[in-house]
């Protein structure tokens, strides 16, 4: 099982270590540093690194490498999933997962890691249970603690760990009972030069914020459940009922959680909300090039496209860009070679256009690689797949909860080739 964990920042400083079995010397990380150096970019460090006596499995999150050491045959995905869970827990506890917050809360971090694994076996990884065991730091509580002398460690047995619904604690009470669901869809797509879709799919999630007293038993149904043939559920969902009736039946965890994620890859269901007309060319001589990008709406079902941002990764030889935008602002960073055009709302009557010239390093040959465009966008109150929630019913409790569903469509990895 998981033997040790090292946290390493982007600069290569090891700033925290935790061993769940015997102590392993931090010199084991030399193998990681070697791989890190070879990879150049931090994103490119291979997740599994073999050393003579151990394996290092690492993830890169929020500019921190979570490097775990294992010694026996352990499913690597188990380790990777666990490491992501650790990062999420830090995020959950400290608001952000960064070197500073981890260092500021080092004792809580240590206590958390101790509760999350026992001898390398996962112990408590549900945020509900952890919060019962170790209370997250708040300014108010730390003040109260210093005055009253109480601690941030729970005195009770984490009841959830024993019940058959480990994700929910008992005795939850709210004065306002409410349940909100966010249907968030991201479009992953690759469009080629001519605008044809090379590949497109929708990654959808339903995030829930459920604040209901007692032990509510919820049922969520869809207008068009047939859209969903590839789904992953939170452990609370009764899979049998989904299989037979296509409804989502569950006793929710308390607070925020991801109820389900789904994946729609059928080409005909994936609408592409915008089109991009672009022409980026470099001249053989004169060390310059031209850029002309126009964005327009395509399949938006009458909704407005917002927060539209176009990002262009320019070839290394591009020194500066002299452009004019009919809408929004643009910025070219000559260090990262990224051209960022922040358009904002897309107005179908007056299409935004960015046009102008690029200047290249003098004497440099015409760049070999083609730049590619990345699109960011947002459409409120609209799920691009057409998924609609039909109703939410609650059983097991008497009160009447407040219910709400929100839809939003975003661009995921949305890429236009040139």
Partner 1 sequence: MLLSVTGEIFELKAELNNEKKEKRKEAVKKVIAAMTVGKDVSSLFPDVVNCMQTDNLELKKLVYLYLMNYAKSQPDMAIMAVNSFVKDCEDPNPLIRALAVRTMGCIRVDKITEYLCEPLRKCLKDEDPYVRKTAAVCVAKLHDINAQMVEDQGFLDSLRDLIADSNPMVVANAVAALSEISESHPNSNLLDLNPQNINKLLTALNECTEWGQIFILDCLSNYNPKDEREAQSICERVTPRLSHANSAVVLSAVKVLMKFLELLPKDSDYYNTLLKKLSPPLVTLLSGEPEVQYVALRNINLIVQKRPEILKQEIKVFFVKYNDPIYVKLEKLDIMIRLASHANIAQVLAELKEYATEVDVDFVRKAVRAIGRCAIKVEQSAERCVSTLLDLIQTKVNYVVQEAIVVIRDIFRKYPNKYESIIATLCENLDSLDEPDARAAMIWIVGEYAERIDNADELLESFLEGFHDESTQVQLTLLTAIVKLFLKKPSETQELVQQVLSLATQDSDNPDLRDRGYIYWRLLSTDPVTAKEVVLSEKPLISEETDLIEPTLLDELICHIGSLASVYHKPPNAFVEGSHGIHHNCILMLIVYNTGHYCPSGDLLGDLLNLDLGPPVNVPQGSSMQIGAVDLLGGGLDSLLGGDLGGGVGGSPAVGQNFIPSSVPNTFAPSPTPAALSSGLNDLFELSSGMSIATGGYVASKTVSITGHYVHMFYCLYFFCCVFSFGVIPTTPLAMHTPLMPSQSIDISLPLNTIGPVMKMDPLNNLQVAVKNNIDVFYFSTLIPLSVFFVEDGKMERQVFLATWKDIPNENELQYQIKDCHLNADTVSGKLQNNNIYTIAKRNVEGQDMLYQSLKLTNGIWILAELRIQPGNPNYTLSLKCRAPEVSQYVYQMYDAILKN
Nearer to partner 1, 19 or 406 (CB): 19
Residue of 375, 378, 377 lying closest to 313 (CA atoms): 375
Nearer to partner 1, 68 or 177 (CB): 68
Residue found by looking up tokens 């990008």 in the block: 293
Q: In this structure, is the dihedral angle defined by the CA atoms of residues 118, 122, 126 and 127, taken in order, positive or negative?
A: positive
Nearer to partner 1, 135 or 388 (CB): 135
Residue of 210, 209, 189, 185 lying closest to 261 (CA atoms): 185
Beta carbon of residue 13, minimum distance to partner 1 (angstroms, whole number): 11
Nearer to partner 1, 163 or 322 (CB): 163
Nearer to partner 1, 121 or 395 (CB): 121
CB atoms near residue 366 (< 10 Å): 14
Beta carbon of residue 52, minimum distance to partner 1 (angstroms, whole number): 4
Beta carbon of residue 343, minimum distance to partner 1 (angstroms, whole number): 21
Task: Show the CA angle centred on residue 191, arms to residues 187 and 195, nearest 5°.
Answer: 125
Beta carbon of residue 363, minimum distance to partner 1 (angstroms, whole number): 17
Residue found by looking up tokens 């090039």 in the block: 289
Q: Extract the tokens encoding 411.
A: 């661009």
Contacts with 150 (C-beta within 8 Å, 6 or more apart), sequence order: 144
Pairing of strands 329-333, 338-344: antiparallel
Nearer to partner 1, 13 or 176 (CB): 13
CA dist 296 and 217 (Å) reads 45
Nearer to partner 1, 202 or 305 (CB): 202
CA dist 298 and 324 (Å) reads 24
DSSP per-residue letters across 286-313: SSEEEEEEEEEE-S-TTPPPEEEEEEEE
Beta carbon of residue 125, minimum distance to partner 1 (angstroms, whole number): 7
Beta carbon of residue 203, minimum distance to partner 1 (angstroms, whole number): 5
């Amino acid at each position: 099982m998981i033997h040790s964990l090292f946290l390493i920042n982007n600069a290569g400083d090891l700033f925290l270590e935790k061993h769940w079995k015997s102590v392993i010397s931090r010199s084991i990380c030399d193998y990681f540093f070697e791989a890190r150096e070879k990879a150049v970019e931090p994103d490119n460090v291979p997740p599994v690194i073999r050393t003579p006596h151990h394996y290092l499995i690492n993830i890169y999150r929020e500019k921190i490498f979570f490097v775990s050491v294992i010694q026996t045959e352990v499913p690597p995905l188990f380790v990777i999933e666990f490491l992501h869970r650790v990062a999420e827990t830090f995020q959950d506890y400290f608001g952000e997962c960064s070197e500073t917050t981890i260092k500021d809360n080092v004792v809580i971090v240590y206590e958390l890691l101790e509760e999350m694994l026992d001898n390398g076996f996962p112990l408590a990884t549900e945020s509900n249970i952890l919060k019962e065991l170790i209370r997250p730091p708040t300014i108010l509580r730390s003040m109260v603690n210093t005055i009253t002398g109480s601690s941030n460690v729970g005195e009770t047995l984490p009841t959830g760990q024993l019940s058959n619904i480990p994700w929910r604690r008992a005795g939850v009470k709210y004065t306002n009972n409410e349940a909100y669901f966010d249907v968030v869809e991201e479009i992953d797509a690759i469009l080629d030069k001519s605008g044809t879709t090379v590949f497109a799919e929708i990654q959808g999630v339903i995030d829930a914020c459920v604040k209901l007293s007692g032990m509510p038993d919820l049922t969520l149904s869809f207008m068009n459940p047939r859209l969903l043939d590839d789904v992953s559920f939170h452990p609370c969902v009764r899979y049998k009922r989904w299989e037979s009736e296509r409804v989502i039946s569950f006793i929710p965890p308390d607070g925020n959680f991801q109820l389900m994620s789904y994946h729609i890859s059928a080409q005909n269901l994936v609408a592409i909300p915008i089109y991009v007309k672009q022409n980026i060319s470099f001249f053989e001589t004169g060390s310059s090039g031209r850029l002309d990008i126009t964005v327009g709406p395509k399949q938006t079902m009458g909704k407005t496209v917002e927060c539209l941002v176009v990002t262009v990764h320019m070839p290394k030889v591009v020194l500066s860009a002299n452009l004019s935008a009919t809408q929004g602002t643009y910025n070219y960073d000559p260090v990262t070679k990224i051209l960022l055009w922040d358009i904002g709302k897309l107005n179908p009557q007056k299409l935004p256009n960015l046009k102008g010239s690029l200047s290249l390093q003098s004497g440099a040959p015409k760049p070999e690689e083609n730049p590619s465009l990345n699109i960011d966008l947002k459409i409120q109150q609209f799920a691009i797949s057409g998924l609609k929630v039909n109703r939410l019913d609650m059983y097991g409790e008497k009160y009447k909860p407040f219910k709400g569903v929100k839809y939003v469509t975003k661009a995921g990895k949305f890429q236009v080739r040139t």
